[in-house]
Structures are given as C-alpha cells and as structure tokens.
Amino acid sequence: MNLIARTFVTLGVVCAVIGMAWGIHMSASGDHMLSPAHAHLNLLGYVSLFLFGVYYHLVPSAAEGILAKVHLAVAVAGVVIIVPGIVQAIQQTGETLAKIGSVLTILSMVVFLIVVLTTAGRRTA
C-alpha cells in the first residue's frame, strides 16, 4: 500500500475509534447534544478518509504527484477543523471554524474529483 493510501486509511480508522469512543460516552452520559459533530467525525473522518485511501490503493498512480498530497492535507484539515467547529456552533460560541471546515471539506472533494477524473482510466498495479 502506498504512503498516501496508508495515511488516509490510518487516519480514517483513528477517526472511527475516536468517533466510537465519543458515541459510547454520549450514550453512557445520556447527553446526545453533540451528536451532529460526532456524526460528522464518523462520516467525514472515517468514511470519507477511508474511501479516499481505498481509491489511492486501487489506483496507485493517483497517489503520485503533488495533487494527492494536497488532497490529503486539505481533507485532514477539513475534518480537524469542522468537528470542533460544529461543537462550537452547537454550544453557540461561534460558527467560524464550522464554516472554514466546511469550505475545506468541499474543496477536498473537488480536489478528489479532479484526481479521479485524471486517473480513473489508469491501470491498477
């Protein structure tokens, strides 16, 4: 597995573990107020990052070059910023981080779209 794929998959699994622990904590405490942030951590952090990693593993040529590294950086930054941003928005202490994280997250998906469109026809290793 190439480094980009392995990094995406590893970070996705880290997000899954954190998301599961957070979910257990919410269940044990009976306080589900932050469930939207928890859901975004699981969806964007685990599912999206893991799926990006699967693509980069199946199409290793997509992991070559600067675009894959940009994608990794922007995708991870999006998750790291949007989740606490949603927490802040729920707690009514500000929405700036949620907005920045949202922009980074959609930018990450646009970069991934470009990666897919430019590499989808390439042979897998």
Query: Sign of torsion, CA 88 92 96 98?
Result: positive
Average pLDDT over residues 77-93: 98
Q: Tell me, what DSSP letter sits at residue 94?
A: -
Residue 61: partners with Cβ closer than 8 Å, 6 or more residues away:
119, 122, 123, 125
Tell me which residue of 116, 47, 123, 34 sits closest to 83, measured CA to CA: 34
d(CA 23, CA 108): 26
105 neighbors 79 (Cβ within 8 angstroms): yes
Q: What's the confidence (pLDDT) of residue 120?
A: 76
- Within its chain, how far is the Cα of 31 from the centroid? 25
Q: Evaluate if residue 122 carries a pLDDT over 80.
A: no
Percentage of the chain lying above the pLDDT 90 cut: 94
pLDDT confidence bin for 4, thresholds 50/70/90: very high
Q: What's the confidence (pLDDT) of residue 123?
A: 60
d(CA 37, CA 90): 9
Q: In whole numbers, what is the pLDDT of the chain averaged over residues? A: 95
Query: Sign of torsion, CA 115 118 120 125?
Result: negative
Q: What's the confidence (pLDDT) of residue 125?
A: 54
Flag whether the pTM goes above 0.85: yes
Q: Any idea how long the chain is?
A: 125
pLDDT confidence bin for 121, thresholds 50/70/90: confident
Average pLDDT over residues 63-91: 97
pLDDT digits 0-9 by tens, 19-71: 999 999 999 999 999 999 999 999 999 999 999 999 999 999 999 989 999 99
Q: What's the confidence (pLDDT) of residue 124?
A: 56
